Homo-oligomer: A and B are copies of this chain.
Amino acid sequence: MKAVPFNKITLGGYWKNRFDINKSATIPTVYKRFTETGRFDAFKFEWKEGDPNRPHIFWDSDIAKWMEAVAYAITYCPDKQLEEIVDGVVDLIEKNQDENGYFNIYFTVCEPENRFTNRMAHELYCAGHLTEAAVAYYNATGKKKFLTLMEKYLEHIEKVFIKEDSAEFCTPGHEEIELALVKLYDCTGNERYLEMSKHFVDVRGTRQKDEDSPYYISHAYDQTHMPVREMKIATGHSVRAVYLYCAMADLAKRLGDKELLAACERLFDSIADKQMYITGGIGSTSYGEAFTEDYDLPNDVAYSETCASIGLALFARRMSLIDADSKYADAAETAIYNCALAGVSLDGNSFFYVNPLEINLERYRKNKTYYQYKGNLLTERVEVFDCSCCPPNIARMIASIGDFLYTYDDETVYVHHYFESEAEFEGIKITQNTEYPNNGKIKITASGMAGKTLAVRIPGWAESYTIDAPVAKTEKGYAYIKIDSDEKEICLDFPMECRLVMANPAVEADIGRVALCRGPLVYCAEKLDNGETPLNNLSLSASLNAKLEFNNEMQAYTVEADGFEDEAFGSLYRSYSPAKKARRIRFIPYFAFANRGESDMLIWFRI
């Protein structure tokens, strides 16, 4: 299968709206905050001890991701001003790059004596993000300079890490360069980069030099605890993990490496079947921002980093390119529409790093023990973080969201997602008319596909569906439809009833509870919509009797449903006699929470 890249797709509807906010608000906001915090100036390499805004080891990557987002955005919407900013950064990279190709702000300006000595210092991670940005910028503009500079740097990296093996470690403490190298291979066709990626992936977890280098928490934290091909369980820092798995999937596909593919399949299942929040969030503890163990998915202390859910979607997308199994696009859809989108405010100007699945302000306020475990939890989005990986990451995801839509081979075009959109590639034109994710009706118009097959994904959340065309077969969640005419219109209907979802009883945090969902969207209730009663004193009625109302700002439906409220009584304890009064409970999509000030929030309700 091949991917249909985002630049072949014109967005409308839901994602056009998201794209516009991203372009008009998120990209400028992140630029402004990165400027104010000295991240752009850092590329001048003029910082000296005593100056403000000491460069951080990952600032290169923050700007790189922002440039990558810009590259995607200007593909759709040319913007001279943004292009000039990127060109300016590229000029500074050229100016300040070492003669040998090395480029890193922190390890040139702050600790030049320590290059490639500290495995945990993000040098290769930064190199990877700069490479991704360079590829994206070349694809967007045809300008080759950035790409050339990065190729020079990568030649140096190849020399130090592979030919000479002279660095003090063998693999990066934070994966990223592996998948970037594959992108560079795809862009240039130069197999050397594929080899380099394979080297970094296969050497991982096998070398004493890495074992001996400084590490944080454990080798499982950065996936150096075993050779990747033997891995069965997703472990450690969840962003690191999924970036590695992305590269493994990339290599498995390009090299036809079945062993690597089998590892990817195991790791994907380990996440999706046992370690993924209902929102597509991953990472159950702030301690190491990490996976913990199967079924350990606490809601209030969820780490569920925005970048991790984006990474999960990217990993799933790569798997969809290898195997048309709808579980991959299901996971991508869940992660994108829920956890990832919760990472940015509706106006595009502020961000979550950690995306909790429950906020209980009183609990944190009342009891210092809980206040302590609250850890990194923010209850309102902020404009920028010290560790600001997420804002530009969500910006680049939204700007290139079309990447997720289609894959194809000679016979079949796979429709993985449903966006109001037009796609044109290889003589094929596919139009989708839909209000998805708010309505499960999709009209697909396919031209230039006579004799081919259209395989449409039946979303995992759909309890029933209708397709107004003969379905040749249904396999792994895709309905295969033979296209018999040059201009074919097919109507799909995945009825979007509000539904209640329960978690596996092994998920302690959700025992006896349900979540309200509709289509791909997970819903939550905010206290500010529901009066003074603590959210945990509300419970849902199985007969939801749901009423929907479209909310323009959220571009989604809010839901009102039947439930109960625990009735108050005077004493601290009394003999058991249930006392509830019926009431309505108001829900909003999870992605839209915390957009109207600080409030308690709950997804999982007693039933």
Contact residues of A between 481 and 531, Cβ < 8 Å to B: 499-508, 511-512, 514
Q: List 28 A-B contacts (CB under 8 A).
A: A272-B572, A273-B571, A274-B572, A287-B368, A287-B372, A288-B368, A292-B366, A292-B368, A296-B366, A301-B367, A301-B369, A301-B370, A360-B508, A500-B576, A503-B573, A504-B568, A504-B570, A504-B571, A505-B537, A505-B566, A505-B568, A505-B569, A506-B568, A508-B534, A512-B606, A514-B576, A542-B576, A578-B607
Contact of A502 among B293, B367, B576 (CB under 8 A): B576
Taken together, the copies of this chain in the complex come to: 2
Interface string of A572-607 (1 = CB under 8 A from B): 111111100000000000000000000000000011
Cβ-based interface call for A285 (8 A):
yes
Q: Give the number of chain A interface residues (Cβ < 8 Å).
A: 61
Contacts of A373 in B (CB 8 A): 369-370, 372-373
Give complex CA distance A278, B576 in Å. 13
Distance of A117 Cα from B584 Cα, bound (Å): 60
**Considering the chains assembled together, what is the distance between the CA atoms of A571 and B502 in angstroms?**
10
Instruction: Using CB atoms, name the residue of chain B closest to A501.
Output: B573
Question: Is A73 in the interface zone, CB < 8 Å from B?
Answer: no
Q: Which of B274, B293, B575, B578 contacts A499 (CB 8 A)?
A: B575
List A residues at the B interface (Cβ < 8 Å): 272-274, 276, 278, 284-288, 292-293, 295-296, 298, 301, 360, 362-363, 366-370, 372-373, 375, 463, 499-508, 511-512, 514, 534, 536-537, 539, 542, 566-578, 606-607
Considering the complex, give the chain B residue whose CB is closest to the CB of A334: B573
Q: How far is the CA of A571 from the CA of B274 in the complex (A)?
A: 8
Q: Is the CB of A507 within 8 A of B572?
A: yes
Q: Which of B366, B507, B573, B577 contacts A504 (CB 8 A)?
A: B573
Shortest Cβ-Cβ A-B pairs, 6 listed: A287-B368, A505-B566, A500-B576, A373-B373, A296-B366, A301-B369
Q: Enumerate chain B residues within 8 angstroms of A576, measured Cβ to Cβ.
A: 499-502, 514, 542, 607
Are B572 and A504 in contact (CB-based, < 8 A)? yes
Known: A287-B367, A504-B568. 15 other contacts (CB 8 A): A272-B572, A274-B572, A287-B372, A296-B363, A298-B370, A301-B367, A301-B369, A499-B575, A500-B575, A504-B573, A508-B534, A511-B536, A511-B537, A511-B606, A542-B576
